[in-house]
């Protein structure tokens, strides 16, 4: 089997035990790697899977680490690079985008409020702007998704501002 050489990274014991809990909830089943990675990346404040964690999972699940990075690169909801504390995922599908706010679309409003472009992170590391495909909240459009939670009916600049302020 084609595998990268295994590395020995020290993981903080608290993180390690949290990862072990996630693995246990998935019965240490390597076929559930996608679900495991989704849960594991939520353990990090910056919502990503660090290299050390990937190697740790590979060892625990007896998977080639290349398999893990293949998944991390393939699935839009997984990341191997640090994101913001609040990655703002903006729906980029027509159903959301045809609902206009003050003649400016949701994305442009967010860009001007945060003063960043798509794919960028604010200087304080609080917000990243990402576009994603439909997340099934078309009846509540225009909507964004932040850390798994959908915030809907963002049809005015005031509502968007209030949302950004309400995040702790």
Partner 1 sequence: MSTVKFLTQNFGAYDVNSIGSYMKIGGFNALRKAVNMEPSAISDLIAAVKVKGRGGAEYDMGRKLSQARAVVGENKIVICNADEGETTTFKDRELIKNDPFNLIEALIIVGYAVGATDGYIYMRSEYACYRPVILNAIRQAKSYGFLGENILGKGFDFNIHLYSGAGAYVCGEGTALIRSIEGKAGRPRMKPPFIKQSGAFARPTCLCNVESLSLVPHLLMDDQEFYARLGSGDSIGSKLISVAGNVNRPGVFEIAFGTTVREIIYDLAGGVQKNRAIRLIQFGGASGKVADASVLDTPYTYEGLRGAGVMVGSGGMLIIDERTSVLDFLLMNQEFFSEESCGQCTPCREGNLHIKIILDKLAEGKATDEDIRQMKKIAQVMSVSSLCGLGETAQNSLLSAMKVFPSVFQPGGKNK
Binding site for partner 1 (CB under 8 A): 30-35, 37-38, 63, 67, 70-71, 73-78, 92-95, 97-100, 131-141, 145, 148
Distance CA 41, CA 76 (A): 13
Query: Phi-psi category of 7—alpha, beta or left, where left has phi over 0 and alpha has psi -120 to 50?
Result: beta
User: Least distance (Å) from partner 1 to the CB of residue 76?
Assistant: 4
Question: 4 vs 161, which CB is nearer to partner 1?
Answer: 4
Residue 110 or 141 with smaller CB distance to partner 1: 141
Q: Minimum Å distance from CB 14 to partner 1? A: 24
Q: Helix 13-25 and helix 51-61: axis angle, to 10°? A: 50
Residues β-bridged to residue 150: 145
Residue number with CB closer to partner 1 (85 or 145): 145
DSSP, collapsed to helix, strand or coil, labels residue 149 as strand
Task: Report in angstroms how near the CB of residue 25 gets to partner 1 at its nearest.
Answer: 9
């Amino acid at each position: 089997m084609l595998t990268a050489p295994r590395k020995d990274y020290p993981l903080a014991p608290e993180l390690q035990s949290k990862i072990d809990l996630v693995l246990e909830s998935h019965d240490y089943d390597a076929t559930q790697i996608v679900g495991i990675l989704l849960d594991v990346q939520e353990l990090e404040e910056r919502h990503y899977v660090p290299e050390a964690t990937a190697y740790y999972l590979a060892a625990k699940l007896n998977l080639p680490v290349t398999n893990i990075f293949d998944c991390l690169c393939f699935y839009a909801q997984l990341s191997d690079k640090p994101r913001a504390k609040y990655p703002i995922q903006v729906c980029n599908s027509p159903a959301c985008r045809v609902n206009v706010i003050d003649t400016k679309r949701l994305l442009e409003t967010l860009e001007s409020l945060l003063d960043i472009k798509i794919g960028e992170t604010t200087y304080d590391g609080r917000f990243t702007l990402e576009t994603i495909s439909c997340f099934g909240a078309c009846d509540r459009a225009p909507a964004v998704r932040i850390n798994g939670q959908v915030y809907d009916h963002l049809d005015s600049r005031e509502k968007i501002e209030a949302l950004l302020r309400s995040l702790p």
